Structure 1
Amino acid sequence: MHTELQHAAEMNDDANLVKLGQIFDGFAEFVDDPSEGELPQQRVLPYLFGNRHQHDLGMIDSSAAEITVAVGGKDYAIKQSPGLLTSARAGGTTGAAVWRTTSLLAEWFVSSDNPLFKSGLLDETCTLLELGAGVAGLLPLVVAPRIKTYHATDQSYALKLLQENISANSTSKKRNTKSPNHADVRLSSLDWEADDVNYFLSSHDLSDGLDLIVASDCVYNYHLIEPLTNICTAICRHRRRNLRPTLCLIAQQVREPNVFEEWLTAFSQHFHVWRLTDSTLGAALGIQSGYY
């Protein structure tokens, strides 16, 4: 097992991309390409489906200015902006509240059986970029201490409260351990449609590309399909060929199945896709819980 994981970290050619797929097969199911045509050499780590309760948009409590979210046995006090959420701000305001998908994804990341860390696909040498981070800060709080650098990105309106939440919840109870306040978390504004990806990466010391892209609950209307697909594709193509390909992890609650299916079709034109198995997702995200 250890040898296989070491090979995974050193993949840099077509043959080894197949090897990477074999690692995925240990905890994920390959999703057949719904479109036609040859796929580029980029891989997408599995997507998650959410429940389809039409009355539940997926926010934990959109009316509260502050909520407490438990992840990995620890409580996080997270500030939100109900006023901003209900405003008519151009460009959207969904990042002003904490979404249930994000808390479930954070819980999945801290699991001792998390397949990314367990397989060696994520470790202390890796650099991760989150798209549409919102204000919560849960993912950087739990993931950043275990990797090299965590880049949390969103539109500029979300960054101030995001920084406040990360700072307020970054406390160390033990000395000489890498705790959230010692983790390398960097916040940046990134507009999927307006910003130049090459300039963004080079100006943020990311010329070699990234190990992992994470997007939590970012596929919720048709307008976002093309921008999300394009930004992920552009970032992945920036990866140096002598390094392991960039992986994408897309976690999503499905509110409108047609939107997600159209996004998946568009994404599959550029990526190979796997879905996490129920045993890998665990009880909180498995079929029996309403997530599949």
Structure 2
Amino acid sequence: MDPLTSFLATIGEEVEDAEEESFLLFSQDIPSANLGFVDSRATTIDITIHDQDFTIHQSPTLLSSSRAGGTTGAVLWKITPLISSWLTNTTTNPLWTHSLLTPSSTVVELGSGISALIALSLSPKIHHYIATDQEYVQRLFRQNLDENASATTTTSSNTKSQKTNKSSKQSSRKNKPSSGQGSKGSGNGNVTFTSLDWELDIAGSLKESLGLAPTPTPTPGEDKEEEDEEEEDKGFDMVISCDCIYNEALVAPFVRTCADLCRLRPVYTNPDDQDAGGSSRRGNETGRRGRRKPTVCVIAQQQRSPEVFEAWLQETMRVFRVFRVRDEVLGEELKLGTGYLVHVLLLK
């Protein structure tokens, strides 16, 4: 059994019906968590994850402002520290034990907000972390990175203005090897922030716009054609989203962005799903791209509106296979009844 098949068998059953799933989840007692802020009035919040202490700066003033485009990313939300802790448990989390996350992984986060908490906790364990959100969160995001991880620097980039910002490019290159990819050494330079508008920007060109397309070292016996294939990889190992699903108007652009990012890698094909002649029943639709692992989406959210959740799930199931992560995998702080949900998506 290949690692991805084994992983899917470990995390939980596939969701088959959006309405049934929504009814099951929201018919249970859900503890009140208000809107889900840790403390919307504090300017700093102290958080400990796996014995590592972080001080997170946030902006209550910005949260309460009338800024067009929303302000929810201005403060830390309760689910974020829990997901940070879960994602970075390398000894028990199936994402690590089944090699979906490895030290060579590249991860992109949608809707990172100001805290940089998942980036801070996960980036030291992987090759490169790309955080995306609206431009207004960038200042506090960078401050939280700088003040919480002296060994970690961030390459700040705006996908719309990068080409004309020469000085920013030059500064960025100082933290990158000649391949154009962020340096992993001691976590230095392996976190990048960039603005990404789900409705206006082209998610499929994210890695290219940041100059992060890899040039890997060929393995022994790898021919030139296979090497070229790897050089053309524009995708990611994982897409993470933490508490971004709270408004039905954002559902379609959010799901579309997830799908566009996942389409940069091959669709998952079970290696056991073969005909008598040994050929995949799905044919050779992914071609040589089949050598790469598909992108896995991890979507965490707080239970709020059953209508918004069901709208998200229906839209998601049109293009993704959806698996709700079971209690035994999530642990006490994220299991059913806590008011939090974690789903894993694989592109159909």
- Relative to structure 1, the CA distance from residue 223 to residue 167 in structure 2 (aligned partners, 3 Å threshold; closer, same or farther) is same
Pick the structure with greater CA Rg: 2
- Relative to structure 1, the CA distance from residue 89 to residue 63 in structure 2 (aligned partners, 3 Å threshold; closer, same or farther) is same
**Is the partner of 1:287 in helix, strand or coil?**
coil
Is 2:279 the counterpart of 1:273? no
Gaps of 5+ in 2: 20-24, 152-183, 214-232, 267-288, 342-348
Is 2:307 the counterpart of 1:258? yes
1:33–1:269 contact (8 Å) kept in structure 2: no
Tell me how many residue pairs correspond in the alignment: 259
1:54–1:255 contact (8 Å) kept in structure 2: no
Partner of 1:44: none
Percent identity at matched positions? 39
2:10 to 12, 26, 33: 26
How far did 1:118 drift? 1.3
1:218 to 244, 254, 257: 244
1:155–1:191 contact (8 Å) kept in structure 2: yes
Counterparts of residues 41-120 of structure 1 (less than 5 Å): 52-53=30-31, 56-111=34-89, 112-120=91-99
How far did 1:195 drift? 0.8
1:145–1:183 contact (8 Å) kept in structure 2: no
1:120-169 deviations in Å (ceiling 9; x for gaps): 11001111000000011110111111111100010000011101101111
1:79–1:161 contact (8 Å) kept in structure 2: yes
**Is the partner of 1:252 in helix, strand or coil?**
strand
**Is the partner of 2:302 in helix, strand or coil?**
coil
Partner of 2:191: 185
1:20-55 deviations in Å (ceiling 9; x for gaps): 3442111222111549xxxxxxxxxxxx99984456
Counterparts of residues 99-248 of structure 1 (less than 5 Å): 99-111=77-89, 112-171=91-150, 179-180=186-187, 182=188, 184-204=190-210, 205-206=212-213, 207-239=233-265, 241-242=289-290, 243-248=292-297
**Is the partner of 1:78 in helix, strand or coil?**
strand
| Partner AA of 1:198 in structure 2 | G
**Is the partner of 1:166 in helix, strand or coil?**
helix
How far did 1:258 drift? 1.1
Instruction: Write the distance in 2 (CA, Å) between the matches of 1:196 and 1:227.
Output: 11
Partner of 1:15: none
| Partner AA of 1:29 in structure 2 | E
1:62–1:97 contact (8 Å) kept in structure 2: yes
2:30–2:337 contact (8 Å) kept in structure 1: no
- Relative to structure 1, the CA distance from residue 65 to residue 239 in structure 2 (aligned partners, 3 Å threshold; closer, same or farther) is same
- Relative to structure 1, the CA distance from residue 25 to residue 169 in structure 2 (aligned partners, 3 Å threshold; closer, same or farther) is same
1:51–1:255 contact (8 Å) kept in structure 2: no
More deviation in 65-74 or 127-136? 65-74
| TM, length-normalised to structure 1 | 0.82
| TM, length-normalised to structure 2 | 0.69
1:51–1:254 contact (8 Å) kept in structure 2: no
Instruction: Tell me which of the two structures has the higher relative contact order, counting C-alpha pairs closer than 8 angstroms and 6 or more residues apart.
Output: 1
**Is the partner of 1:208 in helix, strand or coil?**
coil
1:233–1:270 contact (8 Å) kept in structure 2: yes
- Relative to structure 1, the CA distance from residue 90 to residue 144 in structure 2 (aligned partners, 3 Å threshold; closer, same or farther) is same
Is 2:331 the counterpart of 1:282? yes
> Where in structure 1 do 4 or more consecutive aligned residues deviate above 6 Å?
48-51
How far did 1:197 drift? 2.2
**Is the partner of 1:188 in helix, strand or coil?**
strand
Instruction: Write the distance in 2 (CA, Å) between the matches of 1:261 and 1:53.
Output: 19
Instruction: Write the distance in 2 (CA, Å) between the matches of 1:179 and 1:86.
Output: 38
Instruction: Write the distance in 1 (CA, Å) between the matches of 2:31 and 2:69.
Output: 26
- CA RMSD of superposed structures (Å): 2.3
**Is the partner of 1:248 in helix, strand or coil?**
strand
